[in-house]
Amino acid sequence: MTSDLEDAPAGRTTLMPYWDRVAGQYAADDPLGAVCYPAAPAWFNRFYAFFHRRAVERMLGDLPLAGTRCLDVGCGSGRWCRWLAARGAQVTGIDPTAAMLDAARRLSPSVEFHRMSATNIDLPAGSFDLITTVTVIQHLQPAEQERAVASMGRAIRPGGMLFALDLIDVRDPGRVVYPRSPASWIALYERQGMDLVRWEGQEYVPLIRALEKLLRPKKRATETDVTAPSVLEKVGRRRAMFLPLGPVMLLSVPLELLCERMLPSTWARHGSFLFRKTGGDGTTSTSPAPGRDA
């Protein structure tokens, strides 16, 4: 098993230096910002965290979690580890960044953590009933995504469940994200023996997306220094620039709830996917609900 004392975990990925820098700079004082939008005001990150939580609760809230063995991949500061543990799960969290794990251990003393990359999960095969990974795999390059999903597929038991929340807006120009279409995400997991149970769109935020078009570059940035700040992080150094977003976010909360009911899942920025690993009783999952694609 990979030791937390090693300088870096096996399976080091392209953007790991970026997350090492972000975690070292922000995780101790702003653990939520370190895993959401570094340098952004707390209220800005709480807005997105609120809808992340709603997505997790919609997908996992009805599952019998008490006593289940759960692995949170890319656990960051441990927010989903705490959510699972509060529901009686036996939780293990893994993350490749030492500073992030320091924050997680401080905030979640009852949870077991290991320094480990998603692409090389050095834990016994088939040892988890549920794996969660929230806005993590989107930060891996396509070939790394393949390795990460294969590694998660190995760690989950036959018949076990996997929940993933990742970027489906393939037009997103962010330098540190590698989105896929919903069909591509689904195919990625199916190649590793997982059947889709259901999926839905998450994070429509039409007003904010309209403003982002004015602030973000039209094409993906070509910054050569992988540790360089993202566009939003650079904006965050001037907090006053976030103030106009306050009223927009207040309006966005009820609008988001309406979008969730009315709009196709494919129009969202992120997708929430629930899979079941083939095997166990020799059957596969029932026919999945495809999301609001009509």
Tens of pLDDT along the chain (294 residues) come to 433 444 557 788 999 999 999 999 999 999 999 999 898 889 989 999 999 999 999 999 999 999 999 999 999 999 999 999 999 999 999 999 999 999 999 999 999 999 999 999 999 999 999 999 999 999 999 999 999 999 999 999 999 999 999 999 998 888 899 999 999 999 999 999 999 999 999 999 999 888 777 666 555 555 567 888 877 777 666 767 788 788 888 899 999 999 999 999 999 999 999 999 998 554 433 333 445 443
pLDDT reported for residue 288: 38
pLDDT reported for residue 280: 57
Whether 104 maps to a domain, the answer reads yes
Report the CATH number that the domain containing residue 188 is assigned in CATH.
Answer: 3.40.50.150
Whether 52 maps to a domain, the answer reads yes
pLDDT reported for residue 141: 95
pLDDT reported for residue 285: 38
Contact 120, 150 (CB under 8 A): no
- Count of CB atoms situated within 10 Å of the CB of 201: 23
- Count of CB atoms situated within 10 Å of the CB of 234: 12
- Give the C-alpha separation, 160 to 149, whole Å: 14
**Best CA proximity match to 252, nearest among 53, 47, 33, 52:** 47
- Give the C-alpha separation, 149 to 180, whole Å: 14
Contact 77, 27 (CB under 8 A): yes
Structure tokens at 134: 């929230």
Whether 240 maps to a domain, the answer reads yes
pLDDT tens digits, 197-243: 999 999 999 998 887 776 665 555 555 678 888 777 776 667 677 88
- Give the C-alpha separation, 138 to 291, whole Å: 20
Secondary structure (DSSP) of 60-127: HTTS--TT-EEEEET-TTTHHHHHHHTTT-EEEEEES-HHHHHHHHHH-TTSEEEE--TTS--S-TT-
pLDDT reported for residue 233: 78
Whether 288 maps to a domain, the answer reads no
- Give the C-alpha separation, 183 to 291, whole Å: 11
Whether 3 maps to a domain, the answer reads no
Q: How many domains does the chain have?
A: 1
Bridge partners of 133?
A: 164
pLDDT reported for residue 243: 80
Q: Note down the domain range covering 23.
A: 16-277
Whether 256 maps to a domain, the answer reads yes
Residue recorded with tokens 């989950």: 156
Bridge partners of 163?
A: 132, 274
Residue recorded with tokens 């794990």: 101
**Best CA proximity match to 239, nearest among 86, 36, 26, 44:** 44
Residue length of the chain: 294
pLDDT reported for residue 223: 57
Whether 95 maps to a domain, the answer reads yes
Contact 118, 94 (CB under 8 A): yes
- Strands across the sheet with 128-134, in order? 112-115, 90-95, 69-73, 128-134, 156-167, 270-277, 194-202
pTM of the complete model beyond 0.85:
yes
H-run or E-run covering 150: helix 142-155
Whether 260 maps to a domain, the answer reads yes
Contact 134, 80 (CB under 8 A): yes
